[in-house]
Amino acid sequence: EITVLRISGPRRPPSLPRAWAMTVMAMEEEEVPKMSWERKRALTRDQLTGYYRERFNQAAEQRRVRMYERAWDEVIKREKAQGAKARATAQAKEAKTNPGPAVVPSETPPPAEEVWGGDLYEFKIQYSTNFGEEMYLIGSADELGAWDLSRKVHMAWNKDNYWTVKVQIPADRKAVEFKFIVGQNGNNRWEGGQNHRFELTGGRCVLS
């Protein structure tokens, strides 16, 4: 003779068929206000069901907020990493195609004439770009692209949102006009107003 025993776990209280399912999530949330067992015993079935429903809604909202916060932090982290990578790639490409003057160690700086020569000019602008945007320089001289957007000169970002670039321009160009451009993914936004203009005088010259 074989006897089969049916073993079951704790049965849910018959008086709380709806609230029992809501309790699982609500009990796990520490930030959701809780009610003592003494107060619960004094509640009716409907009141207790309402209590657990409210706790369930609060717990679900807490979880949703934390999920969005974690997702947003991850988005910011990835955007910063992508921005740094894109800027490094652009600067490396610019350095490869337009190496410019040799860098002189700061410990033993040579005379200004050796660093700048007679025709080296530095262009400088302080501008806060949006994510993914880069600053460029364009002008009338052939060294500045001769107003050809495909030949515009990329500028390097520095601390406090200063963008700079050094360009060698022969003195025989005499007068030069130029403008700054904000570029991103082939889209270019020109600086407003009249063109900047300066006379080529040789020696060190910072244009901003």
CA–CA gap between residue 166 and residue 101 (Å, rounded): 8
Instruction: Output the pLDDT for position 56.
Output: 81
Asked whether the beta carbons of 137 and 153 are under 8 A apart, the reply is yes
The mean-pLDDT minimum among 43-57, 73-87, 108-122, 136-150 falls in: 108-122
Dmax (CA) of the chain: 115
Q: What is the mean pLDDT of residues 49-70?
A: 81
Contacts of 20 (CB under 8 A, 6+ apart): 12, 13
The mean-pLDDT minimum among 1-5, 25-29, 38-42, 159-163 falls in: 1-5
Q: Is 185 exposed, middle or buried (0-12, 13-18, 19+ CB in 10 A)?
A: exposed
Q: What is the mean pLDDT of residues 90-117?
A: 57
- What pairing do the DSSP bridges indicate for beta strands 120-126 and 162-168? antiparallel
CA–CA gap between residue 200 and residue 202 (Å, rounded): 6
Asked whether the beta carbons of 181 and 135 are under 8 A apart, the reply is yes
pLDDT above 60: residue 124: yes
Instruction: Output the pLDDT for position 178.
Output: 92
Report pLDDT digits (tens) over 156-192: 999 888 999 998 888 777 788 999 999 988 889 998 8
**Alpha carbon 25 to its chain's center:** 35
Q: What is the mean pLDDT of the chain?
A: 75
pLDDT above 70: residue 89: yes
DSSP string, 76-125: HHHHHHHHHHHHHHHHHHHHHH---SPPPPSSS---HHHHHTTTEEEEEE
Nearest residue to 176 (alpha-carbon basis) of 155, 200, 194: 200
Instruction: Output the pLDDT for position 202.
Output: 63
Instruction: Output the pLDDT for position 3.
Output: 47
